Amino acid sequence: MPVDQHIAALLAMAQQADLPPMYEGTPDVGRAQYLAMTTGLRGPEQVVPVGSTEDITVPGAEGDLPARVYRPEGEGPFPTVVFFHGGGWVIGDLETHDNMARHVCRGADAVVVSVDYRLAPEHPFPAAADDAVASARWIAAHLHRFGGDDRLAVAGDSAGGNLSAVVAQTLHAEGTALTGQLLIYPAVDAEGEYASRVENARGYFLEQPTMDWFYGHYAGAWEDAKDPRLAPLHGKDLSQQPPTVIVTAEFDPLRDEGEAYGEALRAAGVEVDVTRYDGLIHGFFDMGTISPAAQQAIDETCARFRQTLHG
């Protein structure tokens, strides 16, 4: 089907603005652009309501990391979801993904702890993965401070979906069980060859040159592109992964690898719910304010994740 008309209008506006592509600039410029595109365009009336928020720090691999706790309305106990933001491991932060974390909190009826891991190129691979694992370990050991019971899950979009999958595999190997994971158009196979990377390489917000720019900053010097901490699709044993919700978008370069991860999990005996949203693009999980179709996809995704967490 064609690109959703509301998103098509956004893409046309971006093209008319004739801004230099992110991959031609520096990471600092890219971070500023991304912040302006997200929080800079979000009015107070567009902030998803939750019960409360609290800014804290959590231990990372080499020091404390900023984090934000989102609590749903009502009385617990609730599941605790560790959330990792997208942005190619180079851009993005707590603010750019504030509404995404709020959607998961409200829609899945869970306490969400959004973790602001270290970014590349200042901190290249495996810094982000190490921070994600270290923070999740600590949160797992302190669930009484968050959701209040033993239900622990992970969630993230794009690069954050990558980190969520890495955390799920690592924590399982260490003996920490997860209740579920939500992977939103995840990057899970660094150098795989997929039709969607060719079909959707240009014109749909996330472009192949930008993906190359992200990867070059994060892991360009790492020789093993199939390292499971970088490409969790190549994890050695997927059989004990938690029930998984994966969502992809029709016009997204990452579409096919996200779906391939779902197929690999299913083949390993894992309960998997994979949904492709036709007409949508990479980043749709933050486009509900401009696209009713994107909002419907967000609501449906959070409802399915809620079912995974609450049974």
Contacts of 283 (CB under 8 A, 6+ apart): 158, 205, 206
Cβ partners under 8 Å of residue 137, min gap 6: 171, 174, 176
Q: What are the DSSP calls for 87-114, one per residue?
A: STTTS--TTTTHHHHHHHHHHHT-EEEE
Catalytic residue among 114, 135, 158, 291: 158
Could you tell me the two tokens for 25? 């600039």
Query: Whats the size of the chain, residue-wise?
Result: 311
Residue 7 burial (C-beta neighbours within 10 Å; 0-12, 13-18, 19+)? buried
User: β-strands 244-251, 148-157: how paired?
Assistant: unpaired
Residue showing tokens 């928020």: 53
- 282 as an active site residue: the answer is yes
Q: Is the distance from CB of 223 to CB of 251 less than 8 angstroms?
A: no
Q: Is 158 marked active-site?
A: yes
d(CA 31, CA 244): 30
- Integer angstrom CA distances of residue 134 from 12, 69, 94, 129, 141: 41, 17, 18, 9, 11
Q: Which of 93, 157, 252, 286 is catalytic?
A: 252
Whole-number Å distance between alpha carbons of 252 and 256: 8
> What's at 189, amino acid-wise?
D
Q: What residues are annotated to the active site?
A: 158, 252, 282
